[in-house]
Chain A
Amino acid sequence: MQAPSAFSCLPELCGDAGPFAARRDGRGQLRTRDAVLWLVAGSAAYGAAMGAWSSYELALYAAIKLPLLLFATAGVNALANGVVARAAGYRLSLGAALRVVIASFSLVGIVLGSLAPVVLLFDRTVPGPWSPAAWRSHDLLGALHVAAIAIAGTAAVVRQRRWLADFAPRGEPGALAFAWLALNLFVGAQLAWNLRPWFGSPGLTSEFLREHPFDGTFYESVFRLVAQSTFDPK
């Protein structure tokens, strides 16, 4: 009866029940498992919907890569998140900080997963990557994904901020959630860049990773884009 148990924890993961990492009832480990399951299920569903515009192959790859991206972001930032929390006076161990971040990422996964059918509708009804209007679709889908991720991220940060209040020095939600958000966005954007392609570019084949995934950074590419459009807008 694994599925009903995991499903029944959804309201608790989404609700105001408080940070499960802080529970003293011995169910913390169970809730971590539930959070991990939902993170994988939700983000894999969204990843599949994301890649489905290009091909079923890319849908499979993105379904694998999106949970991987979230776990990698949490893992890379674990130490920094924990240290920042301690420095800000929060009563959080490194492990507890990681569990709170994983819980909020599982919320991201749940919200993204719930939006997967909407994304899939657009994938299957806007011009495909082989059509003359492919780049317009590419840009539209890019905007759609930004909107979906913004909705999911906002929901997660708002909830995480409430959870963190229990650990805060004065029991009030402080700026820690926003500091973590900044760290996670900074690292997450780069890892997402390394793990391209996500929904594919017209004219390029579907592959798990680009040929040189670690050549360049997200921030260099943004700098080049801005510089090019400013100084050489041809």
Chain B
Amino acid sequence: MTQDPQASPAAEPNPEPTPPPGDDAPGPESLGDSHASEAESLGELHAIDALLRRPQQTIAKLAAADAPRTLATLVALALAGLATYGLVIGSFSGGVQWWAAPLKVLAAAGLCGAICFPSLYVFVTLAGARVRASEVLGVVAAMLALVAIFLASFAPIAWVFTQSSTLVTFVGALHLVVWIACAIASRRVLNAALKQWRARPTGLTSAWILILIVTSLQMTTTLRPIVGSAPELLDGERKFFLAHWAESFASDARSGPAGDAGAGY
């Protein structure tokens, strides 16, 4: 059962889907064959599983009648995952960073999503999608939720390094690498959405991921300190992220390793 894109304008929610007969557990290769099956209820699939394995189902749910519930689930997932990773970041400095780092991580992710949302809406429209702004907002939420799931799954690994390292720049760079990798991995949600909307993935949609990453790098620099500590909760000094990182690396290089880090194995 397929939908005619011309007969299904963006202003109307997708019709209630019909599950394909005799296909209780479709394999990954069958996904996307039918938009009806994509829009089917998540069933036994947990929301996390759905985002990881079948993002198209989640995207289809965002256009269905219970979109607010799906959106609420995605926002809750994003909050939980980002706060968890924020705790790991805060554990490096301790003190006020125990609560400040998770809050700043949540603020950074939310603000980046809000700042980059208009360009995503325009870019997917240019890619041929006919969607409402609310559906694009849902995709941003789904991407943030997937990033948060990835981050939470990497949290134990990041915690080991966070507890062992004495260099702010090393820990900061590690968190940035993890964040960028998770942001790139979340592109599968955007690809699923483009497929759902019958739009072509273009260079613009790839460029959007880059815009999101660059925006997040500047946002985290603005909200610093997130990894290290400072007398003030916010540094307040205006700085470009590359300049900030260059200065931080130079400072750590001058101070050298602390403790017995230079003693070899």
A residues with a Cβ closer than 8 A to B are 10-11, 14-16, 107, 110-111, 113-118, 121-122, 124-128, 131, 133, 136-137, 140, 151, 154-155, 159
Contact = CB atoms under 8 A, between A and B. Distances in A.
Nearest to B130: A11
B161 interface: no
A14 to B, nearest CB: 4
**A116, A128, A151 pick with most chain B CB within 10 angstroms:** A151
B11 to A, nearest CB: 9
Nearest to A116: B118
A127 B123 CA distance: 30
12 contacts: A14-B122, A111-B119, A111-B123, A111-B126, A113-B122, A114-B121, A115-B118, A121-B219, A127-B239, A128-B238, A131-B238, A133-B243
Contact of B126 (A14, A115, A117, A133): A14
Nearest to B129: A11
Contacts of A124: 238
A110 B122 contact: yes
Dominant SS among interface residues on chain B: helix
Interface in B201-253: 203-204, 207, 211, 214-215, 218-219, 221-222, 238-240, 243
Contact of A15 (B114, B130, B204, B221): B130
A137 B204 contact: no
Given A126-B239, A136-B240, A137-B240, A121 B125 contact: no
B125 A11 contact: yes
Given A11-B10, A16-B128, A127-B239, A115 B218 contact: no
A113 B118 contact: yes
Given A11-B10, A116-B118, A125-B240, 17 more contacts: A14-B125, A15-B130, A110-B122, A111-B119, A113-B118, A114-B122, A114-B123, A115-B211, A117-B114, A117-B115, A118-B119, A122-B240, A124-B238, A126-B239, A133-B243, A140-B240, A155-B204
A155 B221 contact: no
A126 B242 CA distance: 10
Contacts of A107: 126
B116 interface: yes
Nearest to A131: B238
**B10, B114, B115 pick with most chain A CB within 10 angstroms:** B115
Contacts of A117: 114-116, 118
Contact of A118 (B121, B128, B204, B215): B215
A127 B238 contact: yes
Given A11-B130, A14-B122, A14-B125, A118 B116 contact: yes
Of all A-B residue pairs in the complex, the 8 with the closest CB atoms, nearest first, are: A114-B122, A114-B119, A114-B118, A14-B125, A117-B115, A125-B222, A126-B240, A14-B126
Contact of B243 (A10, A113, A116, A136): A136
B1 to A, nearest CB: 25
**B114, B119, B126, B243 pick with most chain A CB within 10 angstroms:** B126
Contacts of B118: 113-117
